[in-house]
Amino acid sequence: MSKQYVVAVVGATGAVGETMLSVLHERKFPAKDIIALASERSAGTEVKYGNKTIVVRDLATFDPAGVDVALFSAGGSVSKEYAPKFAAAGAVVIDNSSAFRGDDDVPLVVSEVNPEALKNRPRGIIANPNCSTMQLMVALAPIQRAVGIERINIATYQSVSGTGVKAMEELGKQTASLLNFQGAEANVYPVQIAFNVIPHGGDFLDNGYTTEEWKLVTETRKILGDDSIQVNATVVRVPVFYGHSEAVHIETREKVTVERARELLAAQPGLELVDDRAPGGYPTPVTHASGTDPVYVGRLREDVSHPRGLDMWVVADNIRKGAALNAVQVAELVIAEQG
């Protein structure tokens, strides 16, 4: 009988936490015990794990001794306080917040891109990238390895689920209200999101970029292992429930043709190429990404404005692949490493 593990999901009542539980069950993760943890106000509620129901426990009073793997998705402040405690108790922590992504002694890992980074985790903590960075790395890694990337210019079209359950509720309520010829009240976002697009994600920095945009800069360089890559990002929130899309324009160090790029992308694990030059021959959040595992790439073409330019369209489910699935895949790599 193969070894069984005690797995804790911190933030189990959130959208990502619930999806983590679903993915753990779907992929038959060798867990002898699944522990659902959340804040005191959620303690006592129930979450699903396959056909089973698990009672959520209070993170603040939980003793992490005996936990082998801890999947965190409860926000940066919670991770900063509790992730080191779980790691000190012997658990491998996989954290979905931004708390540790920039730390040199914490690997930032996309399972299909840089699994070798897992070998150096002195603090017992592994960071998940931002969901937008996650899907971008799956698409760009094979091209970076083959010909190198000099510059990335990206505009994201991010679904409201990336902001949380309250944002999804706000989109639904605003849409219903406007369709009934009533006004739209904005609480989660600074302006109306229904039937609108908002060029704003995170907090504004002194240089005019936002924190969501700057994550794409720093995380891309760390994951691809190349600080010389120039990244320019604009983050846009769109009235879509699930699935982030990205218009990506890259300048490579060596020329790569569309045909060669297709070959590289087709061979990349975790990626599905949807690139027919016909109406509907490209991926979208609704038709392809929502509820599925792959990162989808389409609209491949050479950039006519640059001799080494390549354009593509990248789509993935931000909650599933962009957060929950990668965390579980990393956990699978960790237990495989342990034998």
Active site residues: 131, 244
Give me the helices (H) in 193-325, please.
211-224, 258-266
d(CA 253, CA 306): 12
d(CA 212, CA 233): 9
d(CA 99, CA 32): 29
Q: Which residue has the tokens 């990162």?
A: 295
Beta bridge partners of 273: 297
Position 118, amino acid: L
d(CA 85, CA 296): 37
Beta bridge partners of 93: 70, 125
d(CA 270, CA 139): 9
Which candidate, 28, 16, 120, places its Cα nearest to that of 332? 28
Count of CB atoms situated within 10 Å of the CB of 56: 20
Indicate the helix (H) or strand (E) that contains 133: helix 131-147
| Residues with Cβ within 8 Å of residue 182, at least 6 apart in sequence | none
Which candidate, 286, 308, 310, places its Cα nearest to that of 300? 310
